[in-house]
Amino acid sequence: MNHPKNIAFIINPISGIEAKEQIVKWIEEKLDKDKYRYEILYTKYAGHAIKIAAQKAYEEYHAVVAVGGDGTMNEIARSLVHTETALGIIPCGSGNGLARHLHIPMEAKRAIDILNHGKVETIDYGKINETSFFCTCGVGFDAFVSLKFSQAGKRGPLMYLEKTLTESLKYRPETYEVEIDGNTTRYKAFLIACGNASQYGNNAYITPQATLDDGLLDVTILEPFTVLDAPSLAFQLFNKTINQNSRIKTFRCRSLSIHRSKPGVVHFDGDPIMMGENIQIKIVQNGLRVIVPLEAPKDSPNVFQRAQDYINGLKQLNESFVEDFTSRNRMILEKGKERFKKLTKIQK
């Protein structure tokens, strides 16, 4: 007779917008008690999940399950690399990039079924200046947006979309030196994204050809673009074809170095962190055990609707911008008229 395996659920109470109380009820109701002996733990501060997961790996738990977003997943996974303890995911964050790539359902009840009936696979992970990431990392606009998002106070995909749209009007591309295998190339870039997995989250595929077990980073460099390019870029981002855009440069490598003119923000799995001028990014093969579905379903996101939603957001933002610009000009004109009337009265 097989004894139940130990499994721990680590819940980030502030991730995403989904109520965690209901998820706990579903765990209690749906988890296979013959297969697992479980406990539920809550994080109390940033970095707490790292400590909890490290302890469970030391105690040789079968799995530690991240109940949260990519930030919670990252903290837990960092403590599980190169151990026999597997990562499980019940996604309830803003992006859920790794869970989506692994075809883990976004519905908590169905994600619990994967824990009951799934399998364990080993995947690669990456490091950016020795900070581990499992989905994507990067410099430039995406890192800048992750910083603004972290400061917003509110969570959820709509807030992320809002920050992306508003900040895109103000962001200025930087010049980077990118070194691979001793060869250095300069790029003026809107962003440089390195993918272990294929997407940021919300089915936005920034490195659409990336796989988790090939020992390679997929690198996407987005060069400066105009407002006219934005709709096609947005559509291709959700249609898994952004690598076909003329503004995009893509390549694969095991490691690369990025040099920029000054320190600034980078992101790893959507979380911002400040780093210096020199950035080293590399892949580590076969480092993390993950519970995944027995058979991954075919991709079926409604990419046309998602891309249209993004374009509609751009349109609304542009209309607001034009309206605000017109309103300001009207105010300036009215003030000008008042001053002109005052001047004519004085002259009389």
Instruction: Return the pLDDT at 17.
Output: 58
Q: Flag whether pLDDT at 255 surpasses 70.
A: yes
Instruction: Provide the CATH topology of domain 5-117.
Output: Rossmann fold (3.40.50)
Q: How confident is the model at residue 168 (pLDDT cuts 50, 70, 90)?
A: low
Residue 176 amino acid letter: Y
Instruction: Return the pLDDT at 166.
Output: 58
Q: Flag whether pLDDT at 213 surpasses 90.
A: yes
Q: Flag whether pLDDT at 120 surpasses 70.
A: yes
- 82 or 295, higher pLDDT: 82
Q: Which of 7, 47, 42, 93 is nearest to 291 (CA)?
A: 7
- 103 or 298, higher pLDDT: 103
Q: Flag whether pLDDT at 293 surpasses 80.
A: yes
pTM over 0.75: yes
Q: How confident is the model at residue 5 (pLDDT cuts 50, 70, 90)?
A: very high
Distance (Å, whole) CA 140 – CA 78: 24
Domains 5-117 and 132-283 share a fold: no
Instruction: Provide the CATH topology of domain 132-283.
Output: Tumour Suppressor Smad4 (2.60.200)
Average pLDDT, integer, range 284-295: 96
- 50 or 160, higher pLDDT: 50
Q: Which of 7, 121, 120, 111 is nearest to 53 (CA)?
A: 7
- 330 or 232, higher pLDDT: 232
Strand, helix or coil for residue 88: strand
Distance (Å, whole) CA 310 – CA 235: 8
Q: Where are the domains of the chain?
A: 5-117, 132-283
Mean pLDDT over all residues of the chain? Answer: 84
Q: How confident is the model at residue 346 (pLDDT cuts 50, 70, 90)?
A: very low
Average pLDDT, integer, range 177-186: 92
Q: Flag whether pLDDT at 320 surpasses 90.
A: no
Instruction: Return the pLDDT at 148.
Output: 73
Q: How confident is the model at residue 322 (pLDDT cuts 50, 70, 90)?
A: very low
Helix (H) and strand (E) counts for the chain?
9, 16
Average pLDDT, integer, range 25-49: 95
Of the chain, the percentage scoring pLDDT greater than 90 comes to 62
Instruction: Return the pLDDT at 128.
Output: 97
Average pLDDT, integer, range 23-31: 95
Distance (Å, whole) CA 297 – CA 299: 6
